[in-house]
Structure 1
Amino acid sequence: MTEPINLLVTLDAGYLPPLKVMLWSLYANNRRQVVHVWLVHEKLTDAQIASVRALTDGLGWQLTALPVKIDLTDQPALIKRYPPAMYFRLLCGQVLPKDVHRVIYLDPDIIVINDITPLWQLDLQGKMLAASAHRGVTKLVDSVNQLRLGTNTSYFNSGVLVIDVDQAREKIRLADITEAIETYHDSLILPDQDILNFLYGEAIMEIDEEVWNYDTRKYLIYQTRNLTQHDIHWVMAHTVILHYCGTPKPWDATSDSKFTSLFLNYQQQVDRFLA
């Protein structure tokens, strides 16, 4: 395919190793696709960026690193205590060049195990964003979060997003985000995700979590919800994005879940490639 996928990642230095695993898994399962990685960061060093570029160059991809400094000096201490990187994915419209019209955002604690092209080509039907809602067996989590945040939409996970950047440029403002944090801080549990849902939930199109944002902690829940039909064979054939939500992370020594070995295998592959 000639048009590159614009992939947005925002992180600090601590997540560079898993980022490389995520990028390698995307390459391994999308070898015909060209990717432009937009690395938005606050204070990565040149050497740290070069370590990512060694991988993207080896894959034949383009990497653009964009250092961003959000000025919060005039904001209350409550807002200053949140890491500035929290704002980067939502404010991508203010950061990315004007000729970037769409991006896929992925958290670094993710691996891609099938073709991501349908997500890139997704018809947003006029919505600004696409995201998945992580639910249990029932929709109780939606009801709880609707009550907590005063919303009437599903509660969306912010780890995988398709973003209409043109709409984001027009509609997402730092002032709105900081005002919401200051006003509703007592109700916030996951500030970036809560703000996404509180301010922009109506602008999100829901996509299937078991395909596009599979919470690896919830294998048994997914099995129960689908009457055991979505077993590990179904996951490997149909799921595109595995998201290692929560702790421990798969690169931690204490991790020993059904999906740990899959991550570690991709980790070995990218380490050998870079070596």
Structure 2
Amino acid sequence: MLNILITLDENYFPQLRVLLTSLRLNAPGEHFDIYLLYSDLPEHMLQAVERWCRAAGYEFHPIRMDGNLFGSAPVSSRYPAEMYYRLLAPRLLPEELNRIIYLDPDILVINPLRPLWETNMSGWLFGAAAHTGKTELANDVNRLRLGVEHDYYNSGVLLMDLELGREEIIPEEIFRYVEEHRMELVLPDQDLLNAMFGERIFPLDDAVWNYDARNYNNYVMRSSGKYNVKWVMENTAILHFCGKAKPWKPGYIYRFGVLYQHYEQLAGRSWQPYL
């Protein structure tokens, strides 16, 4: 059994359907417990996910957040309460859980996740990947901006040790950091992960576990041609459609957009009886 965590609002409900469809198709026979942290989703959406999960043989655990939990948190249109959910997951999820994989909703799973689930990261809070790209420029800029020495990790895929998180992640310390550094946070939740917990992150291979779908040419160049499309389809488990350009929007120009659109069609058919 693998535990999967997702957080979203109703605008990303179509992408949730695509993500879950890809998960089911590319991990046949695997049992997933799907945990959803949310603040306000229509009941018909939650019921549709429940019905689909039941048909897939998965357990669905929607957990509505109490606004009072974030009463002392700096919250605004730029810093919505939802940005805290993944970092505070150890405090928000049932205490009997000890490990979970967090996935952003703008993701396709194209190979099994079990090897990630079984990764030995004893003593580390998180497993995450850095998108270093063709050069170290982005890493260097973010190190300087946040005053850290480690790589700048992407927060869209996280393997989380929930037991350690309950010991080490203090909500008040996170809220205090946001209050004191709010002018410096460019990507608030990701900046928080790196600034506060970057030294407690076990590095994952982004080409396998958090492939930036915008950067195909960079992956090919940095691997001297090895990470071509065939390699990606055989080895990459998680395709992450990072950034503002999204494959479900008009004008998407990157290589794996057509693959995402294929899964959109599959999701449309497989979810129709449950909507």
Which band: TM-score by shorter chain?
over 0.9
Who is 2:14 aligned against? Answer: 17
Who is 2:149 aligned against? Answer: 152
Partners of 1:64 and 1:207 lie apart in 2 by: 27
Report whether the alignment pairs 1:84 with 2:100.
no
Asked if the contact 1:20–1:55 (Cα under 8 Å) also holds between the matched residues in 2, the reply is no
Who is 2:223 aligned against? Answer: 226
Alignment of 1:1-275 (within 5 A): 4-71=1-68, 72-75=70-73, 79-81=75-77, 82-275=79-272
Partners of 1:26 and 1:146 lie apart in 2 by: 34
Asked if the contact 1:54–1:274 (Cα under 8 Å) also holds between the matched residues in 2, the reply is no
SS at match of 1:187: coil
% identity of equivalent residues:
39
Q: Are the structure 2 counterparts of residues 169 and 27 from structure 1 closer, same or farther at C-alpha, using a change threshold of 3 Å?
A: same
Of residues 221-230 and 204-213 in structure 1, the stretch that sits farther from structure 2 once superposed is 221-230
Cα deviation digits, residues 179-209 of structure 1 (max 9, x gap): 1111112221000000000000011000000
Cα RMSD between the aligned structures?
A: 1.3
Partners of 1:136 and 1:111 lie apart in 2 by: 20
Aligned AA for 2:156?
Answer: G
Aligned AA for 1:197?
Answer: N
Asked if the contact 2:3–2:34 (Cα under 8 Å) also holds between the matched residues in 1, the reply is yes
Partners of 2:6 and 2:199 lie apart in 1 by: 24
SS at match of 2:215: helix
Partners of 2:85 and 2:124 lie apart in 1 by: 20
In structure 1, stretches of 5+ residues that fail to align are: none
Asked if the contact 2:32–2:58 (Cα under 8 Å) also holds between the matched residues in 1, the reply is yes
Q: Are the structure 2 counterparts of residues 74 and 210 from structure 1 closer, same or farther at C-alpha, using a change threshold of 3 Å?
A: closer
Q: Are the structure 2 counterparts of residues 224 and 98 from structure 1 closer, same or farther at C-alpha, using a change threshold of 3 Å?
A: same
Partners of 1:116 and 1:103 lie apart in 2 by: 12
Structure 1 residue 73: Cα displacement: 4.2
Structure 1 residue 210: Cα displacement: 0.5
Partners of 1:93 and 1:175 lie apart in 2 by: 14
Structure 1 residue 121: Cα displacement: 0.7
Please, what TM-score do these two structures have when normalized by structure 2? 0.95
Structure 1 residue 75: Cα displacement: 4.9
How many residue pairs get aligned? The number is 270
Asked if the contact 1:93–1:169 (Cα under 8 Å) also holds between the matched residues in 2, the reply is yes
Aligned AA for 1:151?
Answer: V
Cα deviation digits, residues 133-167 of structure 1 (max 9, x gap): 01121222222111111111110000000000011
Aligned AA for 2:7?
Answer: T
Structure 1 residue 53: Cα displacement: 1.5
SS at match of 1:205: strand
Of residues 175-184 and 134-143 in structure 1, the stretch that sits farther from structure 2 once superposed is 134-143
In structure 2, stretches of 5+ residues that fail to align are: none
Partners of 2:72 and 2:61 lie apart in 1 by: 30
